[in-house]
Amino acid sequence: MRVPRIAALVGTIVVALAAASIAAAQFKSSLAGGSMNLSSSTLAAPTGVTPTQTNCRNNRPIELTVTWTATASAYATGYTVQRTTTSGGPFSTVGTVPIGTTTYVDTDPVLTYTTSYYYRVQSTYLSWTAPSTQGAVTTLNVHCA
């Protein structure tokens, strides 16, 4: 007969539940240190990105200087300078500078004469970035003309 087996199984389950410990938590709405404020903000991009050819020396490596106006975000920690030869990108990172710096000199050996370069600068904070609009410069020819 199956009734005794079922009764034994139910009895075992009841004993197991009675022996189990139950965790409980109680939450209170007050804080020992006072209330907490929640604020939000956005990371502001730098403005006024202006690349220029620093100097031109016949048959010498090209130097381009990128300047910008600092971000308005007080919590930004630095800038990433990016470059492309196609207006609108895609951009590649060519350098990083700490906050407080608003100039970057690009002396990359891949820079060539009579080429248009587009730069943008991103303000950074942790993994957040805020890109500027792009600025453009066209390098002079090998004879600085």
Tally of domains within the chain: 1
Closest CA to 131 of 81, 69, 77, 74: 81
Which residues form the domain of 65?
47-138
User: What pLDDT does residue 143 have?
Assistant: 85
Q: What CATH number is attached to the domain comprising 83?
A: 2.60.40.10
- What phi-psi label fits residue 77: left (phi over 0), alpha (psi between -120 and 50 degrees) or beta? alpha
Give a yes or no: residue 119 inside a domain.
yes
- Asked whether residue 8 is assigned to any structural domain, the reply reads no
**Each residue of 23-44: pLDDT tens digit?**
344 545 555 666 666 556 789 9
pLDDT digits (tens, 9 = 90+) for 56-92: 887 788 999 999 999 999 999 999 999 999 999 999 9
Domain presence at residue 126: yes
Query: What does pTM read for this prediction?
Result: 0.71
Judge whether 89 lies within some domain.
yes
* Per-residue pLDDT tens digits for 104-142: 999 999 999 999 999 999 999 999 999 999 999 999 988
